[in-house]
Structure 1
Amino acid sequence: MNTIKEDGLLRPDRQPLGQNTQGFWNEKRLQSEMQRVFSACHSCRRCHSLCHSFPTLFDLIDNAGSMDVEGVNPEDYWKVVDSCFLCDLCFLSKCPYVPPHEWNIDFPHLMLRAKAVRYRRDGARLRDRLLSSPDKIGRIASRPLLRQAYHYLRKSPTGRKLLHKTLGIHKQAWLPEYPARSLSQRWKTHPQPARHRETGNKVAIFATCYGNYSQPQIGEDLICILEHNDIQVKLIDDCQCCAMPRLELGDLDTVNLAMNTNIPRMAELIADGWDIVSLIPSCTLMFKQELPLMFPERTAVLQVKLAIYDPFEYLMRLYRSKQLKIDFRRGLGRIVYHVACHQRAQRAGQQTRKLLELIPDTEVTPVERCSGHDGSYAMKSEHHVNATSLCAPVARRIQQQQADAYTSDCFLAGHHISNTLANGSTPVHPISLLRRAYAI
């Protein structure tokens, strides 16, 4: 018989989200569960430094007359929920009471449940609906005239004041750029390479919303790297947003709709021998973890879970099977590598660091700390200061290293770090660094 003890003697066994059960949506049961979990967190406090959810919770308790959770107004629980951006680090690295412990605490998914209950009851404000729709923003902001208008709002002091007053987007928050041509448009004119050898490896790239519209160069660099390694490549052009931003909003109905569009298409590709590579860690996590926990009965969802990869996870898989070319021509010098939260949550190890360290004349220093960005948390007026304070230790580490470049698989985190540094430096994505090392 297994004895459940503290500090993870048994591997965490995360349970399905349970959104299709009646009790999931019952507000009284939700409040009771939050009180139970918050009481356990109060007695432990290991997670106090991870994000602002926990200091918010502990301040509420410490300022209550009874000095316990029962003395906190349940309406104030929402302050804790609003401060959680679902980085998953408390479940991953701190909490000793995750299942199979008998207390069965999953703090991130409790916060997700609360967001879902509130979204079904109240909906969401315009700003939050916009920021959680990167596919729609990308399509709109990529059109010539609208693109000019967006970049005026993004860059000008007047535009930033307007965004702050009308939508609640912080004046100093970094906002994505949108080049004139998306990755899908560039793919249409991409020349087909002559492969030097047949490897049998085939990769279908899930570009993601940001990878397609905001950072198409990352996708182009990955395509060149894969083709350099004689891998057949295609871009999945008939999928839609993975819906991770809508999940974080609590909009589970849209998550369900996106799943019903994306999973069948990906399953077809997998059946035809294609591996799926997703450009953004959060999107990869959506298919590897969140959808399987929401729809554990769907066979196709589990098939996609096993066949979708982070770019460097896939490349290191090739390396271990001696199929990756290591004909690097340029060293990269000293690199500070920020390990993205949603990449850590995939539990695949630091594959990016391992591959970059194969490059001669390259030294990689990892920083395993949340940048505080989330998909939209750092953009919001009420959260930007907190997001910047969370990022400050990461920025200090980068300044101390005096590296030749700093990088993160999450380009949003990379730019938030740049914005926090405020020294004119810009991050370089690891995929772009790898292409630079290949000199292709």
Structure 2
Amino acid sequence: MREGSLEAPTRHPLAWQDPDFYDEAKLDAELRRVFDICHGCRRCFNLCDSFPRLFDLIDASKSGELDTVESKDFAPVVDACTLCDMCYMTKCPYVPPHAFNVDFPHLMLRYRAVEAKQGALPRADRELAQTDRNGKLASLAAPIANWATDRANTRTRKLLDKFAGLHPEAELPDYTTRSFTARAKAGPPSVNEDAPAYGRKAVLYATCYVNYNDPDLGVATQAVLARNGVQTEVVYPACCGMPLLEQGRIDKVADNARIVAGELRGWIDKGYDVIALVPSCALMLKSEWPLILPDDADVKRLSAATYDISEYVVDIARKEGLAPGLQPVGGGMAVHMACHARAQNMGQKAAEMLRLLPEADVQVIERCSGHGGAWGFKTANFPTALKVGRPVARQARDSGKSFVTSECPLAGVHIMQGIDKLGGDAAKPERVTHPIQLLARAYGIGA
């Protein structure tokens, strides 16, 4: 229950195929309507940089109200939004079905969609969002690509700053020479037929990040599920489109949704669950795609069949019980709850999963890391990303835990950079890419 409404929050489909969606005058009127509501409330002042920018803009205006703010000055407010959905999910009392009908993230998305329609998106940004093409090309020459993006390579990082707008100090993900889908062609691990959950079947939607950057996360997931009796297959038709969504290229997201949902339809027909290995991608499959293509039957079925990996393991634990053999990992664990996991409205599933380990000592960090996907890599945003994420980095540093992990792999890297910036004499925790890998360690997998 939220202040201002007695009903559960809901969300309206995106009217991105309606010409009015791109009408600049109507967009400006809606921006002013929503911004005025935000100005009168200010509950979101500490979530991200969009709201301080908005409130400072209004406070510095001639009248101290929105009527004397020029529309051209709205751009920095929109630019600071990472589409994390936390204002919508956790703070705003005026989301639908409230009569005010405030959906701040989707309003920011609409603004970007208008910009994209006008051709205002820089070419470098468009190219960076081509994750599948970039991943395939970089994997062909991964050592060279990783050398070029290494922070220590100041010459190439200056070039990336100049031509791609990537901050020289931002830690960029490495590429792998052998993708997760390529590794999976060798066959899935042997399934434990004595496990209580034997009989479950699941497709692992690899995601562009796991496929091209960190296949070890996928391998660990497959091994943990096999130990628990789950037969798995790895499928990756295309990216979920989150990088495209961040740029307002909704038509391209819809194209990817149709491809992926069509490919996974056959697996769902055969009784397979679908597991997304990164929370942003799970959120796209579960929530964003059905709002973009509300009449697509394949998208609806996929949404209902999709699980986040932490959610799926907890579901096994509750319904059948986990396979025996878990051992203490040793040392406490600080787990960051990624915004796109929180936006799935499923509870703290990563923390629940880690508490299944013997002698588990889990500290939850539930606040935005500041990274925001590709947003946090950008030269214009990286200092702000560090500022927003500083409370998380401080909690992780001061937790005294041996491990720090996040459901969002990129957030974990950003948190460690934040810890480095804070300094101090305390021993740094070890970063584990995803909580599922701590479960793998507890089973002795990969140890």
- Both structures adopt the same fold (TM-score exceeding 0.5): yes
Q: Distance in 1 between matches of 2:264 and 2:89?
A: 28
Aligned-partner SS, 1:436 = helix
Amino acid of the structure 2 residue aligned with 1:132: A
1:419 to 1:190, Cα distance in 2 relative to 1, 3 A:
farther
User: CA shift at 1:124, angstroms?
Assistant: 1.6
> 2:191 matched to 1:187?
no
Superposition pairs of residues 315-354 of structure 1, within 5 angstroms: 315-354=313-352
How many aligned residue pairs are there? 435
- Root-mean-square deviation over aligned CA pairs: 1.7
Corresponding residue for 1:226?
225
Corresponding residue for 2:259?
261
Corresponding residue for 2:211?
212
After superposition, give the CA deviation of every residue in 1:69-127 in whole Å (9 maximum; x if it has no partner). Answer: 11111011111111111000000011111111111000000001111111011242133
> 2:429 matched to 1:430?
no
Q: Distance in 1 between matches of 2:2 and 2:225?
A: 45
> 2:200 matched to 1:201?
yes
Structure 1 gaps of 5+ residues are: none
After superposition, give the CA deviation of every residue in 1:226-266 in whole Å (9 maximum; x if it has no partner). Answer: 111111111014x1011111011101121121112111111
Amino acid of the structure 2 residue aligned with 1:167: A
Tell me if structure 2 keeps the 8 A contact 1:81–1:114: yes
Amino acid of the structure 2 residue aligned with 1:154: D
Q: Distance in 1 between matches of 2:352 and 2:205?
A: 23
Corresponding residue for 1:308?
306
**Percent identity, aligned pairs only?**
40
Aligned-partner SS, 1:122 = coil
Structure 2 gaps of 5+ residues are: none
Q: Which of 277, 280, 295 in structure 1 is aligned with 2:278?
A: 280
Q: Which of 75, 79, 83 in structure 1 is aligned with 2:72?
A: 75
Superposition pairs of residues 50-199 of structure 1, within 5 angstroms: 50-144=47-141, 147-155=143-151, 156-190=153-187, 192-193=189-190, 195-197=192-194, 199=198
Amino acid of the structure 2 residue aligned with 1:114: Y
Corresponding residue for 2:40?
43
For structure 1, which segment, 283-292 or 161-170, has the greater mean C-alpha deviation from structure 2 after superposition?
161-170
| TM-score w.r.t. length of structure 2 | 0.94
Tell me if structure 2 keeps the 8 A contact 1:418–1:426: no
Q: Distance in 2 between matches of 1:162 and 1:264?
A: 40
| TM-score w.r.t. length of structure 1 | 0.95
Tell me if structure 1 keeps the 8 A contact 2:333–2:401: yes
Tell me if structure 1 keeps the 8 A contact 2:188–2:222: no
Q: Distance in 2 between matches of 1:48 and 1:248?
A: 22
Corresponding residue for 1:366?
364
Tell me if structure 1 keeps the 8 A contact 2:397–2:429: no
Amino acid of the structure 1 residue aligned with 2:357: I
Q: Distance in 2 between matches of 1:318 and 1:330?
A: 20
Q: Distance in 2 between matches of 1:264 and 1:323?
A: 32
